[in-house]
Amino acid sequence: MFRSYLKTAFRSLWKNKGFSLINIAGLGAGIAVCLIIFTILQFELGFDGFHKNKDRIFRVISEREQSGDIRRSPGAPYPMPGILKQEMPGVISSGVFQETNVQIIIDDEQGRPVKRFREEGSVFCVEPSFFEIFDFAVEAGDYHSLADPNTALLSKEVADRFFGDWRTATGKTFRKNGQVIKVAGIMKDLPVNTDLRSGIFVSYSSQKWLSTSDDWHSTASNHNCYLLLPEGTKSADISLKLTALLAKHSDDKKKGDAQALQPVTDVHYNGEISNYTGRAVTGQLVNTLSLIAGFILLIACVNFVNLSTAQAFNRSKEVGVRKVLGGSKFQIRSQFYGETFLLAACATILAGLITIPALPAIGGLLDLPLDNSLLLKPSVLLALAGMLALVVALAGFYPAIVLSRYNPITALKGKLTRKASGGVAVRRGLVVFQFVVAQVLIIGMVVIVQQMSFFQKHDMGFDKEAIVNLSIPSDSASMSKMDFLRSKVKSINGVKEVSFSFASPADNGNWSSNFRFDHAAEETEWFANLKWADHDFLNAYDIKLIAGRNLYPSDTVAEFLVNETFVKQLGITDVRQVLNKEISIWDAMKGNVVGVVKDFNALSLRSGFVPVVISTNKTNYRKAGIKLQTADMGTALTSLRQLWTATFPDFVFQEQFLDEKVANFYAQEQRLSGLYKIFAALAMFLSCLGLYGLVSFMAIQRVKEVGIRKVLGASSLKIVLLFSKEFLILIGIAFVIAAPLAVYFMNKWLKEFAYQIDISWEIIMLAGISAAVIALLTISVKAIRAALANPVRSLRSE
């Protein structure tokens, strides 16, 4: 019987090739989107889930109460990893210090540099115990060698890159930021789904200052401490012990400071506490992507339901005959489910064909290593089978019910009215549903694009156009060349200003601290952003001074500039009142406030203004900020490259334009906006595909009516309107539902940013009108053809 159903199904689908094609294309695209999103989520949600002890691995995080809120940061006090070994013997711990943009030099046997690399990814300094906590396999050598300073384990990929063949790499040396490191062993390449992904693991003891530090007060987001708890230990108990440990060792501990534990399986998904990749896959993102996948699949299923029920009228006779010949409702439903299955199976194959090139492309867009091997994972294949079953159930259910309930007598006599053939109201409802989803996505996409464009154009309070940032090596020899470099850079044609600083006004790396103001007994409870910068900083970045004067040239901390928010935070209304007052940081760096600058955004526009302190401190300068003339930047850059290479021959020259760096703050939003654009376009395309199918069907059904109307004098425009009116009303209703929904959700999204656009009615109307115009064009393709047909032919054939 099943064979007979499939045979009939195949012939019926073949007979209605156009509709079958629309259904297969629509469902194929819908399933492909689901498959791609599922694969992305599968990839993202599996981060660091492969460690066999994952339930017992935690990262120590710091909690600090600030203005009633608890601020969490991933930094652990520097001495903590060392102390834990003595104070908590059952707990395995490892300090993890992350370095980025590391300079690597490979020397030949005579000590001459032969290869230079700038490692864009992370380099981790870890203790041997790191490899007892995490499941990262060592291929050659022994991780215990990392107990010695200046040793490293390299991944096969990195060892191949550095030394040609990983098999010969053990025992060889390389220079990391000038420090000679010996290769102690080789690791298998790390899986792509770990936040601790790196090809270079240097011994923790190589960073002498880390292992000897007794600074319990400072934390940095790149210094972490991981623990493997003994079985049966409650993480809350350990958190309390860690907080007690902090209190014991930290003299100036503030009320509310605490240590807590973050499960390793949370690191990738926590938007508040940073990980090492710079992107967090939050629950909200997972939900949004899942919802989009679900809705796009639903839109495709709706197309199927609409076209099937619209065609049901044509198949009523067949149903009548089958019923008369003894076919039960169940058998008839089974037959139509069979048809849906066949169609959905074709769509699934098409989805596979779409996904194979699309997945790596989407991976490129999202900067994720998504390759097609992920598609062969059993979970993905199982999900694909699940999608097929879901599509058959969702898309096949209603048409099967409608078709199987026909009364055979009425159906056979052709007395079934179009209304009684079922589904008119449902079809209208479903068209509205499709366009609600499509318009919500379009409005959402327009809002995201506008917000991104707002970020690009928003005045951050400093100049970021035509400013190039160049890194400076941190060794003392390089530091000594800074004044020479300044004069050389200034002499380059096309350079307007140059400034050396720890970071640009807004940067990825930030240094914050509390301080003592005006000889107060207590340090402030709040932290200020520290900007170590020379006296040219304000000029180079065009930061406005509103009171006092600029810094005098100095190599050390001598005096301070502060910003308006800093003054406000102190509770002072007149900016001039802070002038000549002392700031003392860690009681080691002291100086008077000599000027107040206008507020500028030291962080991304997700946050508002923060208190900023600027002071000279040459040993901490890591960047040159060079303002160029826009006329001939290419020549100036070439000269800078030559100068840098000549001054720092062991250093890989790499320039970064400030406006690009700032744009990169929103890289994740930018990438997602690219993805949402695709989804919105697809939702609209699928909805229009369904419309096209419905209008095509209408054109066939109403051919006689059109003929009569034309004979009676109706113009072609009137005929087009006849076809369009109903759908335009439905799209209008969809817009009325979609607009407030989209505004609600997008306002929620915008709340993540301190600076946000207002969702104007123009944006919403624009989205609504574009949806209507695209739909109208779709309808018109068929409607115009129907309107232009010769009425004599249609009437004669009737």
Partner 1 sequence: MIKITDLEKIYRTEEVETVALNRLSIEVKEGEFVAIMGPSGCGKSTLLNILGLLDDPDAGSFVFAGIEVAKFNERKRADLRKRNIGFVFQSFNLIDELTVFENVELPLIYTGVKAADRKKRVDEVLDKVQIMHRRNHYPQQLSGGQQQRVAVARAVVNKPKLILADEPTGNLDSSNGNEVMEMLTDLNEQGTTIIMVTHSEHDARYSHRIIRMLDGQTVIENIMI
Under the binding rule (CB under 8 A), the answer on residue 12 touching partner 1 is yes
H or E element in which residue 451 lies: helix 424-457
User: Which range binds partner 1 by CB under 8 A, 319-327, 479-487, 511-519, 526-534?
Assistant: 319-327
Smallest gap from residue 345 Cβ to partner 1 (A)? 19
The contact pattern for partner 1, residues 571-590, with x = CB under 8 A and - = no contact, is --------------------
Nearer to partner 1 by Cβ, of 14 and 209: the residue is: 14
Closest CA to 557 of 580, 532, 539: 532
**By CB under 8 A, residue 340 contacts partner 1:** no
Binding characters for partner 1, 471-500, by CB under 8 A (x = yes): ------------------------------
Per-residue HEC secondary structure of 304-315 comes to HHHHHHHHHHHH
Burial environment of residue 300 by CB neighbours within 10 A (0 to 12, 13 to 18, 19 or more): buried
CB neighbours of residue 626 within 10 Å: 26
Binding segment for partner 1 (CB under 8 A), chosen from 317-325, 518-526, 729-737, 752-760, is 317-325
Nearer to partner 1, 420 or 546 (CB): 420
CB 755 within 8 A of CB 458: yes
Please, which residue, 89 or 326, has the CB nearer to partner 1? 326
Q: What are phi and psi of 732, to 5 degrees?
A: -60, -45
**Of 190-198, 259-267, 315-323, 709-717: span binding partner 1 (CB under 8 A):** 315-323
Q: Enumerate residues 379-418 that contact partner 1 by CB under 8 A.
A: 408-409, 412
Member of 317, 377, 496, 590 binding partner 1 (CB under 8 A)? 317
* Selected range binding partner 1 among 95-103, 222-230, 327-335, 504-512, rule: CB under 8 A: 327-335
Q: Which is nearer to partner 1, 11 or 248 (CB)?
A: 11
CA 305 to chain centre: 34
Helix, coil or strand: residue 110: coil
Nearer to partner 1, 43 or 341 (CB): 341
Are 534 and 490 in contact by the 8 Å Cβ rule? The answer is no
Q: Which residue has the tokens 């490293």?
A: 152
Using an 8 Å Cβ cutoff, are 759 and 447 in contact? Answer: yes
Q: Are strands 495-501 and 545-548 parallel, antiparallel or unpaired?
A: unpaired
Contact between 464 and partner 1 by CB under 8 A: the answer reads: no
Minimum distance from CB of 305 to partner 1 (Å)? Answer: 21
Enumerate residues 6+ apart whose C-beta is below 8 A from 152: 146, 174, 176, 181, 182, 183, 184, 200, 201, 202, 203
CA 170 to CA 678: how far, in whole Å? 47
When asked if residue 7 is in the footprint of partner 1 (CB under 8 A), the reply is yes
CB of 424 to partner 1, least distance (A): 20
In sequence order, which ranges of 164-234 are alpha helices (DSSP H)? 208-212
Among 70, 236, 324, 765, binds partner 1 (CB under 8 A): 324
Question: Is 65 within 8 Å of 391 (Cβ atoms)?
Answer: no
Among 127, 318, 507, 534, binds partner 1 (CB under 8 A): 318
Q: Residues 443-458, buried b or exposed e (16+ Cβ, 10 A)? A: bbbbbbbbbbeebeee
Stretch that binds partner 1, among 321-329, 356-364, 435-443, 618-626 (CB under 8 A): 321-329
User: By CB under 8 A, is residue 333 in contact with partner 1?
Assistant: no
Measured in whole angstroms, the distance separating CA 354 from the mean position of its chain's CA atoms is 23
**Three-class HEC string of 597-615:** ECCCCCCCCCCCCCCEEEE
8 binds partner 1, rule: CB under 8 A = yes
322 binds partner 1 (CB under 8 A): yes
Considering only 10-18, 506-514, 690-698, 717-725, which stretch makes contact with partner 1 by CB under 8 A? 10-18
Distance CA 148, CA 185 (A): 13
Is residue 335 close enough to count as binding partner 1 by CB under 8 A?
A: no
Reference 48, options 211, 171, 226; nearest CA is 226
Stretch that binds partner 1, among 206-214, 312-320, 592-600, 622-630 (CB under 8 A): 312-320
Segment contacting partner 1 (CB under 8 A): 53-61, 122-130, 225-233, 313-321?
313-321
Q: Does 15 bind partner 1 (CB under 8 A)?
A: yes
* Using rule CB under 8 A, residue 760 touches partner 1: no
DSSP-assigned beta bridge partners for residue 545: 597
- Asked if 700 touches partner 1 (CB under 8 A), the answer is no
By CB under 8 A, residue 4 contacts partner 1: yes
Select 186 or 412, whichever has its Cβ closest to partner 1: 412
Q: Is 327 one of the binding residues for partner 1 (CB under 8 A)?
A: yes
**Least distance in angstroms from the C-beta of 318 to partner 1:** 5
Interacting span for partner 1 (CB under 8 A) from 318-326, 512-520, 716-724, 732-740: 318-326
What phi, psi does 714 have (nearest 5°)?
A: -70, 140
CB of 414 to partner 1, least distance (A): 9
Smallest separation, CB 410 to partner 1 (Å) = 10
Write the CA distances from 723 to 701, 777, 778, 789, integer angstroms. Answer: 12, 12, 11, 14
* Spatial distance between the Cα atoms of 271 and 64, rounded to a whole number of angstroms: 17
- Least distance in angstroms from the C-beta of 328 to partner 1: 6
Minimum Å gap between C-beta 306 and partner 1 is 22
CB of 788 to partner 1, least distance (A): 29
Q: What is the 3-state secondary structure (H, E, C) of 118-158?
A: EECCCEEEECCCHHHHCCCCEEEECHHHHHCCCEEEEEHHH
Contact residues toward partner 1 (CB under 8 A) are 1, 4, 7-8, 11-12, 15, 317-318, 320-328, 331, 408-409, 412
